[in-house]
Chain A
Amino acid sequence: MTVHTLTEAENVAAVLARVAGRHFGGVAAIEKLSRESGGASRQTWSFDAVVDGARHGLILRRDPPILGAPRTKAETDRSVSIDRGTEFRVLRAAFLAGVRAPEVLFELAPDDGLGEGFVMRRIGGTAIARKLLRDPPYDQARKKIAGQLGEILARLHAVPAAGLPPLTRREAADHIAGQRRALDLLDRPQPVFELALSWLDRRKPAPTAEPVLVHGDYRTGNYLADEMGVTAILDWEGAHLGDPLEDLGWLCVKSWRFGAVDKPAGGFGSREELWAAYEQAGGIKVDAARAHWWEVFGTVRWGIICHNQAWRHLSGALKSMELASIGRRAVETEVDLLQLLKSGV
């Protein structure tokens, strides 16, 4: 007798047929199921559900059930991530408030057996920075993206608090403490990051009077765009409450320009262009020094994320040459930090 064990994809397809049928009210056939990027822990799957002749292009985001894996210090960078249920509610609130975000449809139930996750509508466009920055189909989009990102961000920061799930509030001082903790866990002396964190500590902005929804990872690579420009903001796991300028600063970190270094707004425009669009769409007036502070902070943050990614491999949590190699990218942010600290806005 041969025992047929379901592959991961077969298992996912079977469960999706059941849950999509439940949601749409009919018998669902699952077609074109494929695993997109992402690691073993936070997965994205693309598929079509065909229900009564109607085809729905969908995306599954899920964290597979963890089988008693101990939490390692490599995962400290994950501790700032919200869980899938919270991400679902943040996305729903943002979509209802008119933010260009995917429309979420339903969550997985615990006894569906796929772990925590949810299903949303698939949106057209690419997130690949290299294509958006250089390929001919995006010639027109390239002129619009910086302004669109400013506009969308203003809307995102205006999502009413009443519609949001409980989120952690993180102000400048909390972020500095978090990065120092991360450095201590990595346990390798990092003079440039220490210098930058002390620089940031001495100049940190006061807590915001009215904290807003902060996306937390608003950058090129984390939104979809087509020939007309931005179609959807993705990757909301870093959502929290805080200073709206945090997202503006992070978007301008040099690493997110993917080589288009003279265009700080995600590789597509100037800071001034971004800020003007943001203000025009209802965002607060951008204070240049405060935005610079968040850009410096974002540069530190990305450098320490590089070390944390490498540590996931080094600790044995997830063997990966790709993760290991990211550790050697941290020095790029050290170069940028020494430049930024001298530019002294």
Chain B
Amino acid sequence: MAQDRPTASELLSAIADFLREEATPALDKAEPRLAFQMRVAVNSLAILEREARLGPAADAAERARLAKLLGRDGTLEDLNRELARQLRAGTRDESDAALMAHLDATIADKIAIANPKWR
């Protein structure tokens, strides 16, 4: 059964907003070292919020692409293990356009969660 609202994403946003706007300014005055740690924590909460919102679809799309690329099915972990093995063995390389399209899409989804401002 689905949980009630707030959704995971909404609740994480609410926590991050509170810590950023109310707790951090207070810590800046009282405990600068802890204020720095708090910023790290707020940043991590923002990652989790994006992951709760975007992660499931990104994982499903990655798994579907991998199954097509490798011509077999399996868990996301299994399929990535097989791809990593082929890449180390050199049986696939950057000249493979389907491979590169897959990696581009996968990393675009990952960075959109971990750090969308990265360029």
Contact = CB atoms under 8 A, between A and B. Distances in A.
A associates with B: yes
What's the dominant secondary structure at chain B's contact region?
Answer: helix
Contacts, number: 70
Contact of B88 (A198, A321, A331): A198
A261 B119 CA distance: 8
B20 interface: no
A36 interface: no
A198 B100 CA distance: 14
Contacts of A338: 100, 103-104, 107
A180 B99 CA distance: 21
A191 interface: yes
Nearest to B78: A189
Contacts of B21: none
Contacts of A180: 88
Given A198-B88, A325-B43, A192 B115 contact: no
B24 to A, nearest CB: 15
B110 A334 contact: yes
B47 A192 contact: no
A244 to B, nearest CB: 27
Chain A interface residue number, banded = 20 to 34
What's the dominant secondary structure at chain A's contact region?
Answer: helix
Given A195-B94, A321-B41, A328-B47, A190 B84 contact: yes
B54 to A, nearest CB: 13
A250 B77 CA distance: 31
A322 B107 contact: no
Interface of B: 37, 40-41, 43-44, 47, 77, 80-81, 83-85, 87-88, 90, 93-94, 99-100, 103-104, 106-107, 110-111, 114-115, 118-119
22 contacts: A180-B88, A191-B80, A191-B84, A194-B84, A194-B88, A195-B87, A195-B103, A198-B87, A198-B88, A198-B90, A324-B44, A325-B43, A328-B114, A328-B115, A329-B115, A331-B111, A331-B115, A332-B111, A335-B107, A335-B118, A338-B104, A341-B94
